[in-house]
Amino acid sequence: MDTNLSTMWWVAGGVLVAAELATGTFYLLMLAVGCAAGALAAHAGLGLSAQIVAGALVGAAATAGWHLKRARHPRSAPAESNRDVNLDIGQTVLVRAWGADGSTHVSYRGASWSAAFAGDGTPAPGPHAIVAVRGNQLMLAPQAKTH
């Protein structure tokens, strides 16, 4: 079977895409873009050295670009405390009393919920904001007072 260099570049790119699908590492897609550049250089009739340079430069530039993009944009909060994922975050509940272990039961959305203290200091009765939901337990912090 006679295969040319462009086919090898495309196969390498396909292997990198498959590896990305298996691992979820987006950087592998950037390296696959580099392989595509090497394949296009091969289709253009450039020599092996030029193909390697093209693949390396494009792959490195794409990887560096993706790294810089991720560094400039902070990651979102985890799903358990992200208001975009869970609309309960930020809602207010009234805590009548806390247990010695920092747990309580509150009425929220017409049901009794188990809750735990997630704020600073000692838990005290009163209005609290939901800051996270872990399973079926609400994590509460004292509600900020506004004047």
CA distance 128 to 10: 57
What confidence score (pLDDT) does residue 1 get?
42
> Residue 147 domain-assigned?
no
Count the alpha carbons within 13 Å of 33 in the hemisphere toward its beta carbon. Answer: 15
> Residue 111 domain-assigned?
yes
What confidence score (pLDDT) does residue 97 get?
92
pLDDT tens, residue order, the chain (147 aa): 456 899 999 999 999 999 999 998 888 999 999 999 999 999 999 999 999 999 999 999 999 998 998 888 877 777 777 777 778 888 999 999 999 888 999 999 899 999 999 978 888 999 999 999 888 899 999 987 655
Same domain? For 67 and 101 the reply is no
Question: In angstroms, how far apart are the furthest CA atoms of the chain?
Answer: 79
Q: What are the structure tokens assigned to 61, written together?
A: 């530039």
Q: What residues make up the domain containing 50?
A: 5-72
Specify burial of residue 54 (Cβ count, 10 A radius: 0-12, 13-18, 19+).
buried
> Residue 86 domain-assigned?
yes
At 125, phi and psi to the nearest 5? -60, 160
> What CATH number did the domain enclosing 101 receive?
2.40.50.140
What confidence score (pLDDT) does residue 51 get?
94
Strands (E), the chain: 92-95, 103-108, 111-117, 126-134, 137-142
Kindly report the pTM of this predicted structure. 0.54
Same domain? For 88 and 137 the reply is yes
Same domain? For 44 and 92 the reply is no
Same domain? For 63 and 122 the reply is no
